Structure 1
Amino acid sequence: MEKEGEEDTVEALLPSIQLTLAPKKMEPSKRVPISRCGSGSDGRPISLLANHFNVSLKNHDGVFFQYNVSITYEDKKSVDGKRIGRKVMDKVYQTYSSELAGKHFAYDGEKILFTVGPLPQNTFEFSVVLEESYVNRNGSPDMNGSPSEKEGKRAKRLFLSNTFNVEIRFAAEIPLKSIALALQGKESENTTEAIRVLDIILRQQSAKSFYFTIFLEHRGCLLVRQSFFHEDVKSLVDIGGGISACRGLHASFCTTQAGLSLNMDVSSTMILTPGPVLDFLKKNQNVEDLRQIDWGRAKRVLKNMRVKTQHNKMEFKIIGLSEKPCNQQIFSLKSKDRTSGDVELQTVEITVYNYFTQHKGIQLSSCAYMPCLDVGKPKRPNYLPLELCSLVSLQRYTKALSTRQRSSLVEKSRQKPLERIQAVTDAVSNYSYNEDPMLSSCGISVEKQLIQINGRVLKSPKRLFEPTKIQNWAVVNFSTRFDTSSLCRQLIDCGRSKGIHIERPHSLIEEDAKNRRLSPILRVEKMFEQMKSRLSASPEFLLCLLPERKNCDIYGPWKMKNLYEMGICTQCISPVKINDQYLSNVLLKINSKLGGINSLLDVEHVPSIPLVTEVPTMILGIDVSHGSPGQSDSPSIAAVVGSRYWPKISRYRASVRTQPPKVEMVESLYKLLPNGEDDGIIRELLVDFFQTSNGRKPKQIIIFRDGVSESQFNQVLNIELEQIIKAFQHFGETWLPKFTVIVAQKNHHTKLFQAGGHENVPAGTVVDTKIVHPRYYDFYMCAQAGMIGTSRPTHYHVLLDEIGFSADNLQNLVHSLCYVYQRSTAAISIVAPISYAHLAAAQMGKFITYDDLSDSSSSGNSSSPGTAVPIRELPRLHDNVKESMFFC
């Protein structure tokens, strides 16, 4: 073991990196999250409200019975889709209630239902007929005709078929007692399943409260996990591009220190704005004239959308567009020839336009020159004129939003604390949860007032400012709308007023006008040719003016050229309005990238952070970024940042790797090469810590992990932490630090309010009682000052604490780490290491997007569906910038 006070040199450590020891083989022990070790007491007490409602559970001896459900058509084909499944099961209850002994059931919309207590028998087989005539299975309207009279009758019968066979079979028992045990902090294998059943009952009751039944087709309810959204014009917020944010509510049960509670929150999901398809296309492509529509783009956007026709009120799914315009697209129509004595079928060729105007008597005014919607099958097209079709309500939009749409969503969906409180309390009153027969049979009743809790407000740490000098720099301008000379003067004046000394730039380089029509890659190359002719030496910093904001296609190739090839730090801007606040934020980023320190806590300066400044301690932030929705082949980006210059906690270095798409656990923390060397992320960050911390090896590691759910906590402990341990063992079998592992979650539905609800909670508010887990170690912290809308606290889960922090020490450390974010002059909502990891992953994701686009454009094709795409390894950063905070 290393003796107290003993320090290795860089030279002593580096050989051990090259001549690595084989890690000791050991059986990995199964790690689980630790139990709570107490509550904190630091800070000013404050009375708070949380959007939780107390729930009483009286029937501890009750048992949920789980049954598997199979729904098929008459021809034994399975029914796909929750919409039909829910209608069928509603009909089963109405028709066969006596056979089910009058028992109510909760149906998950797919293959499982639950009852409180058993049904009369273990197996049932029912046949039900829906009272509506619409069951669209093959999408074959009458306009296509039919190859023969026999096939025509078959197609019609399939279309009108509304008989379903339902089979119900017993599967398992889930005791309600498991919830009671969990509330006492005791282990129970059925707790998660029991809570899931209660949530399914909650979903079903919430949907019924929107009057969603098979008889009221004009009212709709969209269920998205534990959130529900209804068809109401008042709930829609237009965010542009034919997309609307639909406001609804989230409801779920959870076990807490104070007992079972109902968490109710306002929720939003993106949907296609209902209305005429042509209106949607104009908004989506931002054009006024239909003749300006890009039909190739329209085909990609419209695929799989559901539409309803004006002339017969039927619904269809779009599979594509016709190859020819409506007045030229021909199909074969079978009709009866009544001119001869015998009535015979004859086939005629007719355009879609003529069919609707002549045979259907429908006047078409604007779609003659436009393609038709294809709502048929791949080998059996079925064409509909665009102007007869409207988008069905409540269709989720799951693709990535543009920068403008995201900004609009944030701006228009804000709610003040009092508005949010009113929304959730009204929901609990209106949705009649206490009248639900299944919840009542469980002995469950929900109070109608927000739960009252006690919180504490931690003292804000004081901050110092350590600027750097900006000397050898230049400005490049890809945009025609900026006066670079004026911008530089404003930036220099703003910097000097803030204590940052900025010399005049060596050169202002405007893009040659003739290059603006080139591809993004060529524009970047041409700009560097201009730079070489204007600059005698490579600058240490470049300020780049882009023609557009973050979605600019120059951003990827520009950043990649500088960080990988040239080794130059660069700051890209494209301001809409230039003022002192904007320039101050830009200077914060520039100062960080060039090695300056924008924020340094006084506890760092002393230093006096308990347990952290006493023993060499390394802080890691881990995040994984996945491709945008619809980009299933894009590799995931794993980013880890590590602290440097111990005992400081404000300086970090990033290491980034690619891994298979949608893989959440980081795979490259420890990466053993064939030659026996470790080429993983941890080794890279560990060597950097050693080199910047006076040759000290970290004896303590604090890991902050973002982006994982409760179901993945064990994987963090047994997959990721195990890799980190192996990376340390690679340096020597006796060297293993103590670990503290903390998961931070922003994607949850708990909100905190000051008593009265008129204002957001103060910055530094922490809650670690009542609404926290009854057994495991977690707490809520709202470090930031909520200026607009309602603040969302970060939910921290402590999975492991070998270091042995007290509750107060750990909460104060987390609070301090929210103040060292170099891009902000105030505290942020989550610890800086996680924010940095997120920034690093997002920036590298831009390079992947750029690389993929450049490859596809050069090759002229893309991989076919189902083809495995090799994971592209990211090149290593240039030596000049790899140690910088390039991600700021």
Structure 2
Amino acid sequence: MPQENNTAPVIASHVTTTGVKRTSYGKTGRPLTIFVNAFETSIPQDVIFHYDIIPPADKVLPARVNMTLLRELQTRIAPDILTPLGVYDGRKNFFSPRRLPLGKDDCKEFDVSLQSGDQIAPKGKGPKVYKIRFNLVAQINPEVLKRYIEGKQSLDNAVLTAITALNVVIRMEPSQKYPFNVRSFFTDQEKRDIGLGLELWRGYFQSVRPSLHKMHIIIDTSTATMYTPGPLISLCLAFFKKTDPRVLAPKNGLPDRERLRLQRFVAGIRVITTTKTESGEKKIERVVKKLSTAGASALSFKLKDGGAMTVAQYFQKVLNRPLRHPDVICAEIGTGVLIPLELCEVPPGQIMRKQVPPEKTKDVVEFATKKPQDRLKSIEAGLQVLAYGQSEYVRNFGMNITQTHATRISARVLNPPMLRYGKASQQPTIMPANGQWNMRAKKFYKPVEILHWAVVIYERKQRFNERAAEELIQGLSASAHDVGMTMKPNTVTVWENGQGNIAGQIKAAGQQVFTKFGKYPTLIVVVLPEGGNDIYTAVKHFGDVTTGVATQCLKSLKCSRAQSQYFANVCLKINVKLGGINAIPDPNSVRALADPQNPTIVMGADVIHPAPGSLGRPSFTALVASVDSDNAKYTADCGVQTSRQEIIEDLETMAKTMLTRYIKYRSVVERKSPQMAPPKRIIFYRDGVSEGQFQQVLDQELVALQKACAAHKIKPKITFIVVGKRHHIRFFPTSMSDADKSGNCPAGTVVDQEIGHPTDLDFYLQSHGGLLGTSRPAHYSVLHDENNFSPDTLQSLSFALCHVYARSTRSVSIPAPVYYADIVCSRAKNHYDPTGTVDFSDSATNDESVQADTMLEAFRRGFKPLNERQKTLMYFSVRFKNYQSCVRYPQWFVNLSEF
């Protein structure tokens, strides 16, 4: 059994770090032994030679083609020079276990031609020749890796290049055999057809990762979406869920919009066509660029003798038979070369590198989800597929991976924070058990009062009648009373047509409330039909941007058969939207957040980027911050910026706004003195930043935060923590007695040794109880810490903040402010007029002639700021489609006579 080492790690004084240097480990919590999907590997003994490969200069070739060229060079053209086999990343980097005999300048150019038919030459010419040049750029002494994992070496280019080399070594063998995607490769041993011309393949992720005193290979299961192999025309029909090829013929009514949608789906796909040569038929692999605007029988081209011929006529002559579907569109390959869909074959194993259609997301999640023990077995079985011991590449570089089972490591289970509910509760203070609790016999810490409200129903009255509406009103009112809210029966109920003006209808309902009761509504409940996404978007825009009136969207099916627990969950959302507080962490269990002498503001920031292939669409940014002493009430701001830019452009402005709101709330609502209203501490959680961007974040975002503080003439101590979710570390209990009901490690499992960073302060925390599949711990990297928090303090306060997510009675996977920031980014699409020209749907078409920067400017102009009435309310307290809603400004700043 591994023994946890609580002594301070020995890291040399001259070692520099990107973030905070680790000086100690955490100690608190119940000890627990777990498995982790890390497998120890030895470090090569001999020098590794690093070469730049200058690939063909005429165009950028796919990594798959580059790998094929390299294989031809190693095995057929220059095996005497390139032996023993080196490894190649498919782009620029080649690593060799020996110095290649390239001449005195360590540079040599080779001519390589493909014999496999991957590329073809113009008629009458021989195979195309590619010129590839090798150039020695560095010699890597693996000793730098040994020094680095022992805490004696700073992270520099030599260390990074050495880690890159080892990663290329372990990936080389599978990349020769299987379809691959950067760090993962996939096999057809386990696959599932999900329709729309797509199938799912199971695969394995692998990555070399250094930790203190050890080098590990992280192995995890992975999933890829593949194009269904077979005739291209069959794939296109599957995309439209049709079987009759005539639907692919423009003369039969194929809309141009649908053709463009199909074109985006198949653009870039490799197809095999058959061409006749003097020696017989030859199969050629080509890439689809676009689809024709007309069918093969309507497309013509000029002949050398001055005549003309249609594409259908040409292939009838070549094939000596007519096309089966001459009116169907063609695939354009090469430059202006058109081939009928029925003559194109899609080879197996092609990864779709585009966004999965929304209706297939559920299928992907179901296929990718595995229970912890099943996932662990699959990972260990992956070692057999990877077969490191049989890899010539691994042997050539002297790496040795002997483990056949996951590594046992020491972990701890942290105590959860105490949560405090309203004084009228039978149990005002509770302790969650494995990340969950319930609202039974509990009142909200600060419940709100709803005196007048409206119900707007967009379901047909035959499906949702007066009785159903009355049951909704009674059920919601009763649940509100149970949790301490006041919800008077002063309501108006109306049925509306979802094809009408949604904003006008909702506003009219509010006016009816005013006419009947002399007061405008505090809340409008909107009942949506199945498939009412457009209505939902319009409702959100109405609340987020247009008026700021609070709305709560509900699905009609859930309302009509709702239990009291459902309405209790709805009340969790409504209460915080209207300025209430559901629960707070007990100050005694989170002293770092509740120190009255050091008022603390907690912030969370995130950026989300457009889906792959979304030309010109912007990235959205968000900053969320607490405003109260209990760190339970949060406010948010969001913006739009350059597509795929990770650094937040407007962070300084956003942070100044957050600080203003924090100081104002503490001054006006909590009545703090001018000296105690500003924060003395800032705890800043940043989501979505890769390790390679840490220094950039420190140089720009930390500086922006400091400038915001300077603008307020304050200098709080800042702790800056990056929260990572996109990693492949997984925890597994060593016995079911240590697991929760889902088979996962219990909520609060924390690891900061054995798999942690060799020099920088970091930790992994699995803060939530499992539901489906294998839980993913969050990875916390401490980049800056003027508060000098201990590891125990950082771990416990992060765990506590995972328990204050307002819409749930479960702890969440990351601290609530970061979770909120992610939701705010996602909701930023609602800041565009739903009746305008901006379209975020999957079917939206982008004119390729329009420059991306021009489109981005249009998105900037169309972006609407949050309505003034809601800027300090938690309108972002829900994320799922069934429950997302819009909110109003809190009562301590709003003129309730305005609507």
TM over 0.5: yes
Distance in 2, matches of 1:97 and 1:368, equals 48
Question: Cα–Cα, structure 1 residues 106 and 622, in superposed 2: closer, same or farther, change >3 Å?
Answer: same
CA deviation after TM superposition for structure 1 residue 702, in Å: 0.4
Paired residue type of 2:269: R
Paired residue type of 1:156: K
| SS in structure 1 of the partner of residue 861 of structure 2 | coil
Partner residue of 1:207?
A: 175
Q: Does 1:118 align with 2:99?
A: yes
Partner residue of 1:541?
A: 523
1:844 to 825, 828, 838: 828
Question: Cα–Cα, structure 1 residues 619 and 318, in superposed 2: closer, same or farther, change >3 Å?
Answer: same
Paired residue type of 1:168: F
Partner residue of 2:459?
A: 479
1:620 to 587, 598, 603: 603
Q: Does 1:609 align with 2:591?
A: yes
Q: Does 1:375 align with 2:336?
A: no
| SS in structure 2 of the partner of residue 610 of structure 1 | helix
CA deviation after TM superposition for structure 1 residue 372, in Å: 2.4
Aligned-residue identity in percent? 29
Question: Cα–Cα, structure 1 residues 112 and 40, in superposed 2: closer, same or farther, change >3 Å?
Answer: closer
Partner residue of 2:33?
A: 47
2:456 and 2:495 in contact (8 A); partners too: yes
CA deviation after TM superposition for structure 1 residue 628, in Å: 2.8
2:454 and 2:509 in contact (8 A); partners too: no
| SS in structure 2 of the partner of residue 597 of structure 1 | coil
2:548 and 2:867 in contact (8 A); partners too: yes
Distance in 1, matches of 2:666 and 2:88, equals 54
Partner residue of 1:177?
A: 143
Q: Does 1:502 align with 2:487?
A: yes
Question: Cα–Cα, structure 1 residues 69 and 852, in superposed 2: closer, same or farther, change >3 Å?
Answer: farther
| SS in structure 2 of the partner of residue 844 of structure 1 | helix
| SS in structure 2 of the partner of residue 235 of structure 1 | strand
CA deviation after TM superposition for structure 1 residue 613, in Å: 2.5
Paired residue type of 2:574: I
1:658 and 1:872 in contact (8 A); partners too: no
| SS in structure 1 of the partner of residue 326 of structure 2 | coil
Partner residue of 1:884?
A: 873
Paired residue type of 1:229: F
| SS in structure 1 of the partner of residue 450 of structure 2 | coil
CA deviation after TM superposition for structure 1 residue 754, in Å: 0.5
1:49 and 1:755 in contact (8 A); partners too: yes
CA deviation after TM superposition for structure 1 residue 371, in Å: 2.3
Q: Does 1:168 align with 2:134?
A: yes
Distance in 2, matches of 1:543 and 1:267, equals 41
1:226 to 175, 183, 200: 183
Partner residue of 1:216?
A: none
Distance in 2, matches of 1:563 and 1:637, equals 16
Q: Which digits, 9 at most, give the CA deviation of each residue in 1:97-122, with x for residues without a partner?
A: 55426232111112221112321230
Cα RMSD for the two superposed structures: 3.1
Partner residue of 1:737?
A: 716
Partner residue of 1:305?
A: 268
Distance in 1, matches of 2:78 and 2:846, equals 61
Paired residue type of 1:199: N
Q: Which digits, 9 at most, give the CA deviation of each residue in 1:244-298, with x for residues without a partner?
A: 3332111111111241011000112333333333433344334465555545323
CA deviation after TM superposition for structure 1 residue 333, in Å: 5.0
Question: Cα–Cα, structure 1 residues 783 and 193, in superposed 2: closer, same or farther, change >3 Å?
Answer: same
2:627 and 2:663 in contact (8 A); partners too: no
Unaligned runs of 5+ in 1: 1-29, 138-154, 213-220, 335-345, 673-677
2:416 to 460, 463, 478: 460
Question: Cα–Cα, structure 1 residues 319 and 55, in superposed 2: closer, same or farther, change >3 Å?
Answer: closer
More displaced, 108-117 or 246-255? 108-117
Paired residue type of 2:146: A
CA deviation after TM superposition for structure 1 residue 679, in Å: 6.5
1:658 and 1:873 in contact (8 A); partners too: no
CA deviation after TM superposition for structure 1 residue 533, in Å: 5.2
Paired residue type of 1:645: D
Partner residue of 2:13?
A: none
Unaligned runs of 5+ in 2: 1-15, 248-253, 276-282, 422-442, 878-899
Q: Map of 1:730-769 to 2, 5 A cutoff?
A: 730-732=711-713, 735-756=714-735, 759-769=743-753
1:560 to 518, 526, 541: 541
CA deviation after TM superposition for structure 1 residue 348, in Å: 4.7
TM-score by length of 2: 0.82
Tell me: higher relative CO, structure 1 or 2? Use CA pairs within 8 A at least 6 residues apart.
1
Partner residue of 2:89?
A: 108
Q: Map of 1:717-728 to 2, 5 A cutoff?
A: 717-728=698-709
Distance in 2, matches of 1:789 and 1:362, equals 54
Partner residue of 1:574?
A: 555
Q: Does 1:187 align with 2:187?
A: no
| SS in structure 2 of the partner of residue 880 of structure 1 | helix
1:599 and 1:650 in contact (8 A); partners too: yes
Question: Cα–Cα, structure 1 residues 399 and 692, in superposed 2: closer, same or farther, change >3 Å?
Answer: farther
Partner residue of 2:439?
A: none
Q: Does 1:492 align with 2:477?
A: yes
Question: Cα–Cα, structure 1 residues 856 and 165, in superposed 2: closer, same or farther, change >3 Å?
Answer: closer
Q: Does 1:796 align with 2:780?
A: yes
1:34 and 1:799 in contact (8 A); partners too: yes
Question: Cα–Cα, structure 1 residues 872 and 178, in superposed 2: closer, same or farther, change >3 Å?
Answer: farther
2:144 and 2:159 in contact (8 A); partners too: yes
CA deviation after TM superposition for structure 1 residue 493, in Å: 4.2
1:599 and 1:821 in contact (8 A); partners too: no
Paired residue type of 2:602: I
Distance in 2, matches of 1:227 and 1:251, equals 6
Partner residue of 1:285?
A: 240
Q: Map of 1:347-386 to 2, 5 A cutoff?
A: 348-357=307-316, 359-362=318-321, 364-365=323-324, 367-377=325-335, 381-386=336-341
Q: Map of 1:79-118 to 2, 5 A cutoff?
A: 80-97=61-78, 99-100=80-81, 102-118=83-99
2:291 to 289, 301, 321: 321
| SS in structure 2 of the partner of residue 87 of structure 1 | helix
Q: Which digits, 9 at most, give the CA deviation of each residue in 1:441-474, with x for residues without a partner?
A: 4432112221111111122334334143433221
Distance in 2, matches of 1:170 and 1:198, equals 18
Question: Cα–Cα, structure 1 residues 524 and 745, in superposed 2: closer, same or farther, change >3 Å?
Answer: same
| SS in structure 1 of the partner of residue 726 of structure 2 | coil
| SS in structure 1 of the partner of residue 32 of structure 2 | strand
Question: Cα–Cα, structure 1 residues 398 and 90, in superposed 2: closer, same or farther, change >3 Å?
Answer: closer
Partner residue of 2:435?
A: none
Q: Which digits, 9 at most, give the CA deviation of each residue in 1:355-403, with x for residues without a partner?
A: 43454134544x33432223342xxx33322233343433333333444
Distance in 2, matches of 1:575 and 1:90, equals 60
Partner residue of 1:712?
A: 693
Question: Cα–Cα, structure 1 residues 107 and 173, in superposed 2: closer, same or farther, change >3 Å?
Answer: same
Partner residue of 1:24?
A: none
More displaced, 410-419 or 91-100? 91-100
Paired residue type of 1:206: P
Paired residue type of 1:423: S
